Structures are given as structure tokens and as C-alpha cells.
Structure 1
Amino acid sequence: MKWDCSIDINAPIEIVWDLFDERHPKRIMPKVDSNEWIVQNEPLTGSSYKQTYREGKRTETYLVTITEFKDEPEEKTKSIQFVLANLFETNLTFEMQKLADSRTQFRYVGSNEGINLMAKTMLKLGKKQENGGPVVAEFMDRVKQEAEKDAKGSE
């Protein structure tokens, strides 16, 4: 499954970018309980952290690696990779482009690929959803809402 979605956000690029700081994942990913740095490089490319994710009563912990990191005034990118439940390799990219002082374009690109026969079968049996389906749409909306709320609070 792959997706590539963009949305314009009425908030400065730095406010949107701050939502992707590993210190407070719950703001935009409520099912993530915690992030714990294992290796923190400067810049962050090649860094890794342990992420704990909760789905109902089930808790999953996995290693997240930052594969790309760019923090420029007009453009910001963070790409991460992890293996979920020893079934799926997930690659996510979060890109921000400054459109104006108080407007940012946010682009979310991702993929989930099965790493074994069971996972590949699960993905094939799952519904083919346009651009990642409702989970991706909810994430995009949450990022927009949180960034615009922070922007209004900083005025």
C-alpha cells in the first residue's frame, strides 16, 4: 500500500515542523506512547529511537530509523523507516514547504510492504484504499488542526 497526500496549512512552517519532534509524538500520533532515543546524530539522519505504540490492549515496540532529515527555513523533510510486528516494512516521509510566512504545504508520503508471505497476503486481502484510506486522511487532518491551533495561540 502506498500513499502521497498534500494539504495547505494556515500556520508557519516552524509550527508545523515542531509537531514532528520526537519529544511529543502523541499530538499527531495518539497511539504512540513514547519515543526513546537510541542513537541521536546531528543532523538526525541515521539516528534511531525505540517507539512504543498501543492498539487497544496490545503494545508494540519497534526501532525507528531516520533515513532523511532536512531542516531549512523554506523546506523541511523527515523520512523514517521501521518494521511493524515483524510483518510490515513502513517508510514515511513528512515534507513541509513554506508558501508564505503563515502558510505551509504539508506532504505525507508513505508505504507499507509485507516482508513475509503472511503479511503480503494480509495486504492483498485488505481493501485497496485510495491514497492510504481513512487512517491517512485522519492523520493529515490532525496535523492541520494541531498546527493551526498552535498558530492561533502564538498570535
Structure 2
Amino acid sequence: MKQWTSEIEIHSPIEHVWSYLDGSLEQMQKIMPQVVENKPIKITKEGVGSIYRQKYQEGKRIEEYDVHTLDYSNQPDNKKVKIGFTLANSFEITALYELRKLEDQKTLLRYTAATKPLKWFLKLLMVFATEKVVVSFLERVKKVAESETSS
């Protein structure tokens, strides 16, 4: 398994940044435009154990998988959600999003992604995997959140 963690300061209120991760499909698509569907299958009161059927478009191909909520906390100054899913019967992926309120208009977003290849030949690909995807995701969230906050 390979894991990457990175964090970024975002000049936007914590609730606004959280809305991309814990809100509607429309909000989610602002930071994850390839997600074309996110239907609730099972919703729990505490969040953990909730399952969403998600569709993700890569080029002309659409992958469908179930996203499981593994950890969830929604406090005023600290929020987190950890999800897990299996992509194309090839990779087990977990993503942990942690938000901490630094000031009224400033939020720290920490993102941890882990990928476990399920087939031996995919382990070779993981040797060359970098944290570039994690860093570019954080930069996209910052750009979107700050552009919406300033306007």
C-alpha cells in the first residue's frame, strides 16, 4: 500500500470548505468534476457506515463503485470524513479529509490518500506513483473555495 499526506491553508470558512466534501453532488463536482453521480444507498445517523454509489468518468469510460464512510466527525472547529472504495477490482482506495478551523476565514485542509493494488502486476505501477495527485487536488480545492468566498 502506498500513502500520501499533504495539507494546505485555505482562505475560506471551514463550513464552506466542508460543503464540498459533505454536501450535494453539485458542490462535490466543483472539486471532483469526474464524479458524475453520488447516490445514497445506506445513510446512518452518525455518518460512519453510510454507503454511496458513485460514478466516475475517465475519458469515455464510466466506473461505478460503492463508497463506504469509514470515519466521520462534524464539529464546529474540526471536521473529518474518511471514505473507502474498490476501483475497477484493481485498487482499494481510502481518502481521509481533515479540516481544522484556523480563523473565521481560514481553514487547514489535510488530505491523506492510500492506494493498495489488488493484482500483483499493479504493484509495479505503484513504484512510480507520486503525491502529485494529492497536491493538485488540494490546490484545486483552495482555488475553488477562495474564488467562491471572495466573490
Q: Answer yes or no: same fold by TM over 0.5.
A: yes
Supply the AA of the counterpart residue of 1:114.
Answer: P
Q: Which position in structure 2 is the counterpart of 1:62?
A: 65
The answer to whether structure 1 residue 35 and structure 2 residue 30 are counterparts is no
Tell me which residue corresponds to 1:143: 141
Task: After TM superposition, list the pairs within 5 Å mapping 1:76-115 onto structure 2.
Answer: 76-115=79-118
1:39 and 1:48 in contact (8 A); partners too: yes
Instruction: Name the CA shift for 1:22/1:52 in 2 (closer, same or farther; >3 Å).
Output: farther
- TM-score, scaled relative to structure 1: 0.90
1:128 Cα deviation after fit: 4.2
Report the residue type matching 2:16 in the other structure. I
Q: CA deviation at 1:22?
A: 4.7
- Stretch moving more, 141-150 or 19-28: 19-28
Q: What secondary structure is seen at the aligned counterpart in 1 of 2:47?
A: coil
Residue aligning to 1:122: 125
* Alpha-carbon distance in 1 for matches of 2:136, 2:124: 25
Distance in 2 (CA, whole Å) between partners of 1:97 and 1:76 is 7
Identical counterparts, % of pairs: 35
Superposed CA RMSD in Å reads: 1.2
Answer whether contact 2:3 2:114 (CA < 8 A) is retained.
yes
